[in-house]
Structure 1
Amino acid sequence: MQKNRILCVLSAFGMLLLIQSCAAQSHLIEDKLKTVSTEQLRYYLYYPEDYENTKKDFGLLLFLHGGGESGGELEELKENGPPKMLVEGKQFPFLVLAPQNPHKKKWWNTTAVMQLLDSVVDSNRVDPKRIYLTGLSRGGSASWEMATQYPDKFAAMAVVCGMAPLPYAHWINKKMPIWVFHGANDKVISVEESDKMVAKLRKMNYKVDYTRYENVGHNAWERAYTTDSLYTWFAKQKR
């Protein structure tokens, strides 16, 4: 069973400290302003075949697409990754949450994505210790970001040809298994992004698998997401 739902508005709250100076005065005026940002996210949510016939909790895979599917029709999410495989008949043993970045030329709003994820987890039978993360290209970059910003959220992560936050590698949960995929001939996001990130993580004794495809460009996701062992690997992980 596959469901298409729309989440109307997600709000992210933050505090902004304003410091004003006046030329006629020698002191600073300190004030606080509460800012609110909103994001409209459409998404697909897949349920395993036996979801309705059992009372057990399931794992959930959060998939973040690349720039090519941003800002368009929701149907475009079916062109790559797990959504494409679902259309082709693939069955997963966990829920699959695939939101759409509404902005053609903006990064993922990972705060909004996290709020969507928490909402879906709260309203479905999801085991919070079996939440998995994956993304390709721009979504791969967002996956690295989410792993650094929310280190205690995910049981495992797979990143496909994403830019890596090398200086903040140590922020990632050391207990979380990671699988990285990249094409050696990538002209969009250099394979050096993954090479250096994997090397640094391994130096710090992280659990990292690395699949580096020779003679493959930016479309490494075509191979990565058709690797059946990736999904059995996800299903074995628990935080």
Structure 2
Amino acid sequence: MRNKILPGMAEVTRLTRAGRLGEALSLIQRVVRGRNPDSGAPAPSASAELASAQPTFPKPTVPRPAAAPLRAPQARVMAAPTPGATAPEPPVPPRPAPAAPGLPGGLSGLPGGLPGLPDSLRDLMREIGKVGPLFDGLAEPTVPASTEPGLFLDRSFANAAGQRAYKLYVPRGYRGQAVPLVVMLHGCTQSPDDFAAGTGMNRIAEAETFLVAYPAQTAAANHARCWNWFNTTDQRRDRGEASIIAGIARAVMEDYAVDSRRVYVAGLSAGGAAAANLAAAYPDLFAAVGIHSGLCAGAASDLTSALRAMRDGARAVTPVRDALPTIVFHGDQDSTVHPRNGAAIIAATGGTLLREEAGVSPNGRTWRRSILADGRGRPIFEHWVIQGSGHAWSGGDAAGSYTDPLGPDASREMWRFFREHAITRH
């Protein structure tokens, strides 16, 4: 067995370092099942192996609706609707072919599990396994159709860096008046529908009358549909995915009446890290940022440094001058993104502690909140630590993935925080 494992290990290591985790896990499965990857013996397809290795994953019992088709790439796809009228839908192109299935979210699909593997392979798999929802992919969670009375529209945006679909929630109260916009970035393996269901942000938008945009990462850009927050080219202004997400915000602002002083970005996990990058790259576009279970801007520059930052916490960074108002949520039992990362985000703001508060959510989670001030004494940074919570959206709905219904409502607190902050034009 050892003679078969060692040649495969070298290839697994190479694929992992290259970020090709789907191929790495497929090779591991073949090796563990006794196939020498260099022997030329026939092996089942990656799709078949991954399908057989899928772990049990709890699903909501609500039947899944028919998936909405993606739109063709276009920078602007809709004009602001006439007050009181229903926005027209453009023609629907054929639905793209489905993506290949993702990696299993854990290691339970491997024969014998971790205990039966050689030490070197077990250590590598532990490293990959710790990444959890940031890099490992699952089939798209089943989520119920939106029950909100507003419009939940399929849209698409493209620029020189690429094309992404996105969903846009337009509340019933929108009648052409200037309203805020919140851009929500999902975590790995999630979709806009899943993230909307889990965070409940559309319900808040309906009650408070603001727009919500949900950009969608593709499996082609990242096998697990993670935002590539750890790639330098995707972190910078007018480059890569940062430019695409900012472009989506601007496209909504062109097509609808959006208060340009009140555009916000928030995200979970990989989406939270991407939101931090956007806040640093586009302080003139976004008025505030919400980061849940994420990492600070520039926390990593490649996959290796990303794994290290997730496991140990990002290294201290130089405080950002004139950092955007920032609200951070993190569970103190998060084993995917170390809670030290939440503290690092706040440290990067350079804020000065004003006071600390503690409480218990209606559903039983204890929390601590630190409120910090900027150099002018304004209380514009908040750090929430949810005791007993893991890698999940605090106070989220169980209809979505990676949610902790027991915690304080992160969505409502983020909106409360966003509402307090706007860009001051000089």
Does TM, scored on the shorter chain, surpass 0.5? yes
1:236 matched to 2:420? The reply is: yes
Give deviations 1:52-71, integer Å, cap 9, x for gaps: 2xx4211101100100215x
Q: Is the 8 A contact 2:264 2:287 kept in 1?
A: yes
How far did 1:226 drift? 4.8
Query: 2:392 is paired with a residue of what secondary structure?
Result: coil
Q: Does 2:162 match 1:38?
A: yes
Are the structure 2 counterparts of residues 120 and 229 from structure 1 closer, same or farther at C-alpha, using a change threshold of 3 Å? Answer: same
Q: Aligned ranges for residues 147-186 of structure 1 at < 5 Å? A: 147-165=279-297, 167=317, 169-170=319-320, 173-174=322-323, 176-186=324-334
Contact 2:152/2:170, CA 8 A, preserved across alignment: yes
SS state of the match for residue 51, structure 1?
coil
Q: Offset at 1:203?
A: 4.5
The 5 A counterparts of 1:1-239 are: 1-7=150-156, 10-12=158-160, 37-39=161-163, 41-52=164-175, 55-69=176-190, 75-81=193-199, 84-86=200-202, 91-103=207-219, 104-105=223-224, 106-108=226-228, 109-165=241-297, 167=317, 169-170=319-320, 173-174=322-323, 176-203=324-351, 206=374, 207-221=380-394, 222=396, 223=407, 225-226=409-410, 228-239=412-423
Flag the 1:122–1:227 CA change in 2: closer, same or farther, 3 A: closer
Looking at structure 2, the residues matched to 57 and 4 of structure 1 have their Cα atoms a distance apart, in angstroms, of 19
Supply the AA of the counterpart residue of 2:296: A
Aligned AA (1:184): D
SS of the aligned residue for 1:181 comes to strand
Distance in 2 separating the partners of 1:195 and 1:145: 16
Aligned pairs, number: 204
Deviations 1:139-196 (A, max 9, x none): 000000001111221111111010113536415x43x321110011110000001112
TM-score, normalised to structure 2, is 0.44
Instruction: From the CA coordinates, give the structure whose radius of gyration is larger.
Output: 2
- 1:23 paired residue number: none
Q: Distance in 2 between matches of 1:210 and 1:119?
A: 31
Q: Secondary structure at the match of 1:62?
A: strand
Answer 1 or 2: higher relative contact order, Cα 8 Å, separation at least 6.
Answer: 1
What's the TM-score once normalised by structure 1's chain length? 0.75
In 1, distance between residues paired with 2:319 and 2:384?
19
The alignment partner of 1:6 has SS state of strand
- Per the alignment, do residues 159 and 38 of structure 1 end up closer, same or farther by CA in structure 2, a change over 3 Å counting? same
The root-mean-square deviation of aligned C-alpha atoms, in Å, is: 2.5
